[in-house]
C-alpha cells in the first residue's frame, strides 16, 4: 500500500488580518499563489523519498479541518472563509470517494495477494513435480543405458570368445599345415635321394651294357665263340629291360617329386594365408578386449553414480522476492494555497484508476492519500 500525505499550510488568521490589502488586490493574490506553487514544487522534489508507517493522519486531518472550520464560523468570518469552506467540502467529498476507492483497491490487493500466494505455491508444486518427473526420466534412461552397456559387454565377450576359438582353430590348422609341409619336404628329400640312386644305377647299367655290346662285337668276329655270343646277347637284353624299367621308375619318381613340390608350394601359400588370418584375428581380439574394458569402466561409473539426485529449486519465499511490493508508503507534506494536480507516476501492470487527486484548500491540514501498488518494482516508487 502506497500512502501519499499532503500537508497544506495556510497563513493564520492573524497574518490575514495584519495584511488585508494583499487579499483585496487581485495582482498581489496571483503573485502570492504563484509563490506557493513554486514552494509546493520545490517541497515535492525534496521530500518525495521520505517513508513513514503511520496511517492515522487522515482522521486527525478531518478533526483539525472541522475544528478550524467551526472556529472560523464562530469568529464571524463567514464572508471571508465561505469559498474556502466550499473548497473544503468538495475536498472532503473527494476524500470520501477516494476512501471508497481505497477500500476497493485494498480488497483487490488482498485478493491479488492471495492469488500471488496460490500461484507461488502452485509454481513450487509444479517445480517439484517437474523435478520428480525429470528424476524418474533420468532413472529410466540410466537403467536403459546401463542395460545397453551390459548387453554390449556380453555381446563383446561372446564375440571375443568366438574369435579366440576361431584363432585357436586357425593355429591348429596352421600347425597341421606346417607338419604336412615338413612331411612333404622330407618326402621330397627322400624322392630326390631315390632318383639320384636310380640315376646312378641307370648309368651303371648303361656302362655294363656298353661293355657287353663291345664284347659281343669282338666275339662275333670269331665263329668259335657262338655260345658265348648267345649268352652275351641274353645278358644285354636283360640289361636293356632293367634299364627300361629303371627309366620308367625314374620318370614316375620325377612326376611324384613334381607333384609333391606343387603340393608343398600350395601348403606354403596356405601357410601364408593362415598367418594373415591369425594376425587379423589377433587384432580383432585386441580391439574387442579394449572395447570390453571401456564398457566395463562405463558400467562401473554408472553403477557408482548415486541414484538420488538433488534438483536446484527456485526460492519461492515472499521475503526474498524484491521485485514485488505489496505495500509501500510515501509521505509528502505540501504547503498549498491554490489548485494543484498531484500525480503519482507509478508504472504497474495492474490498472489503478484515479491515481491522481486535485487539492483545493486554503487551510492548514494534513491528509493521507493511499495508493495501492501491486507488482511494481520498488525502484520505480523511489
**What average pLDDT does the segment 228-256 reach?**
83
How many domains does the chain divide into?
2
Residue 206 located in a structural domain: yes
Residues 236 and 330 in one domain: no
Residues 115 and 134 in one domain: no
Contacts of 308 (CB under 8 A, 6+ apart): none
Q: How does the average pLDDT of the chain come out, rounded?
A: 68
* Residue 61 vs residue 350, higher pLDDT: 61
Q: Give residue-wise pLDDT tens across range 260-309.
A: 888 888 888 888 887 888 888 888 888 888 887 887 787 777 767 654 44
Residue 227 located in a structural domain: yes
pLDDT above 60: residue 233: yes
321 with 375: CB under 8 angstroms?
no
Q: Give residue-wise pLDDT tens across range 151-183.
A: 887 888 888 888 888 888 878 888 888 888 888
How far is residue 3's CA from residue 51's CA, in Å, rounded to a whole number? 9
Closest CA to 80 of 33, 19, 23: 23
Residues 201 and 263 in one domain: yes
Confidence bin at 49 (pLDDT 50/70/90): low
Residue 163 located in a structural domain: yes
Residues 158 and 24 in one domain: no
Q: In the block, which residue shows the cell 487551510?
A: 363
Residue 316 located in a structural domain: no
Residues 198 and 250 in one domain: yes
pLDDT for residue 134:
92
Closest CA to 81 of 27, 13, 155, 3: 13
How far is residue 362's CA from residue 12's CA, in Å, rounded to a whole number? 10
pLDDT above 50: residue 221: yes
DSSP category for residue 48: T
How far is residue 213's CA from residue 380's CA, in Å, rounded to a whole number? 144
* Structural domain boundaries enclosing 7: 2-120+324-381
Residues 222 and 339 in one domain: no
Residues 93 and 147 in one domain: no
pLDDT above 80: residue 310: no
Residues 111 and 144 in one domain: no
Residue 318 located in a structural domain: no
How far is residue 344's CA from residue 336's CA, in Å, rounded to a whole number? 17
Residues 281 and 137 in one domain: yes
Q: What is the CATH number of the domain that holds 213?
A: 1.10.287.2610
Residues 299 and 372 in one domain: no
pLDDT above 70: residue 184: yes
Residues 168 and 256 in one domain: yes
Amino acid at each position: 500500500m502506497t500512502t501519499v500525505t499532503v500537508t497544506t499550510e495556510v497563513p493564520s488568521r492573524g497574518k490575514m488580518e495584519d495584511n488585508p490589502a494583499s487579499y483585496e488586490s487581485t495582482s498581489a493574490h496571483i503573485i502570492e499563489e504563484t509563490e506557493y506553487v513554486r514552494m509546493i514544487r520545490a517541497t515535492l522534489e525534496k521530500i518525495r523519498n521520505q517513508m513513514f508507517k503511520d496511517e492515522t493522519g487522515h482522521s486527525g486531518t478531518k478533526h483539525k479541518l472541522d475544528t478550524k472550520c467551526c472556529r472560523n464560523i464562530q469568529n464571524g468570518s463567514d464572508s471571508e472563509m465561505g469559498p474556502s469552506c466550499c473548497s473544503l467540502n468538495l475536498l472532503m467529498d473527494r476524500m470520501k470517494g477516494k476512501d471508497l476507492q481505497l477500500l476497493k483497491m485494498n480488497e483487490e490487493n488482498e485478493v491479488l495477494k492471495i492469488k500471488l500466494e496460490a500461484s507461488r505455491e502452485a509454481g513450487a508444486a509444479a517445480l517439484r513435480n517437474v523435478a520428480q518427473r525429470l528424476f524418474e526420466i533420468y532413472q529410466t534412461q540410466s537403467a536403459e543405458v546401463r542395460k545397453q552397456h551390459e548387453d554390449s559387454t556380453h555381446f563383446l565377450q561372446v564375440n571375443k570368445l568366438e574369435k579366440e576359438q576361431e584363432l585357436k582353430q586357425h593355429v591348429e590348422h596352421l600347425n597341421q599345415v606346417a607338419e604336412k609341409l615338413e612331411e612333404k619336404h622330407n618326402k621330397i628329400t627322400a624322392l630326390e635321394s631315390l632318383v639320384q640312386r636310380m640315376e646312378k644305377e641307370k648309368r651303371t647299367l648303361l656302362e655294363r651294357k656298353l661293355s657287353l655290346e663291345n664284347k659281343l662285337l669282338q666275339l662275333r668276329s670269331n665263329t668259335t665263340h657262338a655260345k658265348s655270343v648267345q649268352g652275351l646277347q641274353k645278358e644285354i637284353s636283360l640289361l636293356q629291360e632293367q634299364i627300361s624299367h629303371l627309366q620308367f621308375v625314374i620318370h614316375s619318381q620325377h612326376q611324384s617329386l613334381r607333384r609333391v613340390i606343387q603340393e608343398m608350394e600350395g601348403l606354403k601359400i596356405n601357410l601364408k594365408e593362415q598367418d594373415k588370418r591369425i594376425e587379423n584375428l589377433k587384432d580383432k581380439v585386441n580391439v574387442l578386449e579394449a572395447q570390453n574394458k571401456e564398457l566395463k569402466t562405463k558400467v562401473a561409473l554408472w553403477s557408482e553414480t548415486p541414484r538420488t539426485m538433488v534438483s536446484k529449486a527456485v526460492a519461492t519465499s515472499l521475503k526474498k522476492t524484491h521485485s514485488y511490493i505489496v505495500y509501500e508508503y510515501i509521505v509528502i507534506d505540501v504547503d498549498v494555497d491554490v489548485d494543484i494536480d498531484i500525480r503519482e507516476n507509478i508504472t504497474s501492470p495492474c490498472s489503478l484508476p484515479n491515481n491522481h487527486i486535485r487539492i483545493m484548500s486554503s487551510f492548514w491540514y494534513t491528509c493521507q492519500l493511499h495508493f495501492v501498488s501491486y507488482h511494481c518494482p520498488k525502484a520505480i516508487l523511489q
